[in-house]
Chain A
Amino acid sequence: MIAQQLVNGLVTGSVYSLFALGFTLIFGTFKILNLAHAGVFMSGAFIGYFAVLNGLPLWLALVLAMIGAGLVSYIVELTAFATIRGSGQIEFTALISSIGANLCLMSVAQRLSNTKVLRFPFETFPVAFYELGPVRFSFLQIIILLVVVVLLAVMMLYLYKTTFGRQIRAVSGNERVASLLGVNPALVYFQTFFISGALAGVAGILIGLSFNSIHFYMGEPYLLKAFVVVVLGGLGSVHGAVVAGMLLGIFQNLAVAYLPSALTDTIIYGLLFVVLLVKPSGLFGSEGVQVGVARR
Chain B
Amino acid sequence: MMNLIYTYQPLFDYFLLAVGFAYSQQMVLRAGVFSIGSAGFACIGAYAVGILVKNQGVHPLLALLLAVVIGCVGGFLLSIPLARLRGVFQAIATLAFVQIVVSLCLYFDDLTGGPQGFNNIPKLVQTWHLLLAVAVTIYFMYVISRSSIGRAFDALRQDETVGATLGISIRKYHMIAFVLSGALAGFFGGMQSLYTYSIEPEMFGFAFLVAALTYIILGGRGTVTGPIIGAAIMSVLPELARPLADNRQFFQGALMMVMVAFMPHGVFDGLVLYLRKRRAAARDKTFKEGGHGSTGS
Contacts and interface: CB of A to CB of B under 8 A. Distances in A.
A87 to B, nearest CB: 6
| Majority SS at the chain B contact face | helix
12 contacts: A83-B257, A96-B260, A100-B252, A100-B257, A103-B249, A106-B253, A108-B250, A262-B107, A263-B103, A266-B104, A277-B85, A293-B89
A107 B34 contact: no
Contacts of A80: 257
B97 interface: yes
A27 B257 CA distance: 19
B1 interface: no
A143 interface: no
Nearest to B103: A265
A293 B85 contact: yes
Contacts of A272: 92-93, 96
A294 B34 CA distance: 14
B270 interface: no
Given A84-B260, A92-B34, A102-B253, A107 B96 contact: no
A158 interface: no
Interface in A73-100: 79-80, 83-84, 87, 89, 91-93, 95-97, 99-100
B84 A101 contact: no
Contact of A99 (B213, B247, B250): B213
Nearest to B261: A83
Ranked nearest first, the 6 interchain pairs of A and B with the lowest CB-CB distance are A103-B253, A100-B256, A107-B250, A83-B261, A265-B103, A104-B253
A292 B261 contact: no
A101 B261 CA distance: 12
B249 A106 contact: yes
A161 interface: no
A110 interface: yes
A220 B208 CA distance: 13
B92 to A, nearest CB: 5
Interface string A55-88: 0000000000000000000000001100110010
Contacts of B253: 99-107
A100 B103 contact: no
A272 B97 CA distance: 9
B254 interface: yes
Interface in A189-233: 220, 224, 227-228, 231
A119 B259 CA distance: 37
Contacts of B92: 33, 227, 231, 272, 276
A87 B264 contact: yes
Contacts of B109: 262
A80 B213 CA distance: 16
B274 interface: no
B260 A97 contact: yes
A145 to B, nearest CB: 28
Contacts of A79: 257
Query: At the interface, is chain A mostly helix, strand, loop or mixed?
Result: helix
A89 B99 contact: no
Contact of A292 (B81, B89, B255): B89
Contacts of B213: 96, 99
B250 A91 contact: no
Given A84-B260, A103-B252, A103-B256, A270 B88 contact: no
Interface string B32-47: 0010000000000000
Interface residues of B, number: 42
Contacts of B260: 83-84, 93, 96-97, 100
A277 B81 contact: yes
Given A95-B91, A96-B217, A107-B249, A277 B256 contact: no
A276 B86 contact: no
Interface in A136-159: none
B135 interface: no
A103 B250 CA distance: 6
A91 B247 contact: no
Contacts of B254: 100, 104
B88 A292 contact: yes
Contacts of A103: 210, 249-250, 252-253, 256
Given A84-B261, A103-B210, 20 more contacts: A27-B88, A80-B257, A84-B264, A89-B264, A92-B34, A96-B256, A100-B257, A103-B253, A106-B249, A260-B107, A262-B106, A265-B100, A273-B96, A276-B92, A277-B85, A280-B84, A293-B85, A293-B89, A294-B86, A295-B160
Contacts of B170: 295
Interface string A103-138: 111111010000000000000000000000000000
Contacts of A292: 86-89
B152 interface: no
Contacts of B206: 220, 224
A97 B261 contact: yes
Interface string B141-162: 0000000000000000000110
Contact of A227 (B95, B107, B259, B264): B95
Contacts of B249: 103-104, 106-107, 110
